[in-house]
Chain A
Amino acid sequence: MNRVVGAALSVLAAGATLGVLAVVRASDHFDGPRATANAQADITDVFCFTSPENPSNVVLAMAVTPYASASSSFSTQVDYVFRVRLVTAPVPLTMDPTVLDVSCSFDRSTPQVVRCSAPQGLVARAIVGDTTAGDAGPGSPMRVFAGVRSDPAFFDRQGSLATIASNRTTFAGQNAFAHANVLAIVVEIDAAKAFLPRLEAGAIADAGLSDDAGIDARRMPVLAVAAETLVRPVPQ
């Protein structure tokens, strides 16, 4: 029995050691055992910027599924969520607790259809792969794209791995994600319609803050944004 226990521990130790080496990947690729084991929910990158096509809009984008193939699909059991809060004061960083999330989910049809919902009842749908967002232009309150894209990450994975392991910068300029693809969700949304009504509704006053805190939040409609993937419970 001791030999069996020893063998089991050896396998675990080897797995743990190699696991440490394997999880240091890129922007957010393969960041931890659970995300690595569930590629459909493994967030690789998040972007957030004002729209180049319409300055009233903000663009929220997340990529998942490292090394996606043409047959890769979004999970029907995962909620792909952009967590959004309104910054009410910069110093110290203070956010209004009101939830302003944008949540996207996918059905089982072929091709899949993505549906995203946002504050103020905004909803957008699109067929996966449709780069026109169902002909929703930049003037739409909300539009969404979902589908395969070139991985926007460029990162020397091996160099970073070696750098951390040796505590010495050891980069060789090898992009681990050259010519790779990901699954991307891109939501463009009218910021004033979706998020800023909360500002008008008195988020700053509700937070008990004054403009003396630093930058005037009313002239700085700043959002805090992150992405999360959540597996929905299976009904019993």
Chain B
Amino acid sequence: MTRSNEPAVWSLFSAGGVVAAFVFPALMIVTGLAAFFGWVAPAELYSVLQHPLTRVCLFVCIALPLFHWAHRFRYTVADLGLEGHDKLLSIVCYGLASVGTLLAAVLLIFR
């Protein structure tokens, strides 16, 4: 047994969990209910999303929760019976999260 490098992904998982826990419910009310029922105007919301500060926040709200999902999903799939494929599962999960993070960064910088 040797010390693991798991802290690298565990810290991302934890950070993502914190962001999702504190920010997502309210954000979901904004995008899911407020926009639908007209409490906020989608056009106004769209222009707010162009602001650099909002874009930085958005990046955090996308990248970290993606890694939160990846880490938890990796372990849950194993718990549900798919044993012995941890390496492959890790590559798929963290890989997808990384792709999503990269895409978010590109979109937020260049669009």
Answer whether A and B are interacting partners: no
Residues of A within 8 A of B (CB): none
